[in-house]
A and B are shown apart, each in its own frame.
Chain A
Amino acid sequence: KNEVEQSPQNLTAQEGEFITINCSYSVGISALHWLQQHPGGGIVSLFMLSSGKKKHGRLIATINIQEKHSSLHITASHPRDSAVYICAVIFKAAGNKLTFGGGTRVLVKP
């Protein structure tokens, strides 16, 4: 079955802390997305990965294809990073259909 699991479901950090969010999936994929949903509801695409590592500002995304696992790291976290972070994958056998993880709610306290 094509499944995507994220952990943790909720995370609270102090400003400045390093944050890691994990995403595991069940079978081979062609691409993995990390999305950010702000408290107001808007969704922004952060990264699209098929291999390796990407960095944008304080955000780093990595993927290990063999282990079927991706991580999103936030360095020097800030209260404005408070949001829900969502992992989504395109399974190889599923055409271009997108399957989502349940999301990780992050709260960064000042």
Chain B
Amino acid sequence: EAQVTQNPRYLITVTGKKLTVTCSQNMNHEYMSWYRQDPGLGLRQIYYSMNVEVTDKGDVPEGYKVSRKEKRNFPLILESPSPNQTSLYFCASSLGGSGPQYFGPGTRLLVL
């Protein structure tokens, strides 16, 4: 089954404790992206990647890191999480930059 998976789905952590949210797709898509969704602010893009070893900033990259060492995986790293990074995070992939996007189920993060 074609899908984008994210782990964990729910996470509660404390300020400053490094964490990684994994994202994996099985569709051989070149494009992968991370978004956050906040009440009143909607969806905003954090980082995206056009292919292996190619990443670019979205609208809200501060406080996040990404890496794309393999085509199927695109982890989101919070080196030192802060409460303002409490949000719902989505990973997505597509065949090309402007192709239909396939979204993961979301990861709900609470930073205390």
Query: Is B31 engaged at the interface, CB distance under 8 Å to the other chain?
Result: yes
Task: Name the B residues within 8 Å of A31 (CB-CB).
Answer: 98
In which size bucket is the chain A interface?
20 to 34
- A45–B31 CA distance with the chains assembled, in angstroms: 15
Stretch at the interface among A18-26, A62-70, A99-107: A99-107
Pick out which of these stretches binds chain A: B13-21, B65-73, B79-87, B101-109.
Answer: B101-109
Decide if A52 is an interface residue (CB 8 Å cutoff).
Answer: no
Shortest Cβ distance from A47 into B: residue = B100
A50 to B44: give the CA distance in the assembly, Å.
21
Residue A42, interface by CB 8 Å: yes
* Interface residue from A30, A33, A42, A99 paired with B101 (Cβ < 8 Å): A33
Report whether A95 and B56 are in contact in the complex, using a CB–CB cutoff of 8 Å: yes
**Is B88 within 8 A of A41, CB to CB?**
yes
Interface size class, chain B = 20 to 34
CB-CB under 8 A from A103, the residues of chain B are 42-43
B59 and A97 contact, CB distance less than 8 A: yes
B residues near A48, Cβ cutoff 8 Å: 98-100
Give the CA-CA distance A98 to B103 in the complex, in Å: 14
- Taking the closest CB of chain A, its distance from the CB of B82, in whole angstroms, is 23
Q: Which residue of A lies closest to B57 (CB)?
A: A97
For residue A83, CB closer than 8 A to chain B, the reply is: no
Interface set of B (CB-CB < 8 Å, partner A): 31, 33, 35, 42-45, 48, 50, 56, 58-59, 88, 90, 92, 97-103, 105-106
7 further interface pairs, Cβ-Cβ under 8 Å (given A97-B58, A102-B42) = A42-B103, A42-B105, A48-B99, A96-B31, A99-B59, A100-B43, A103-B42
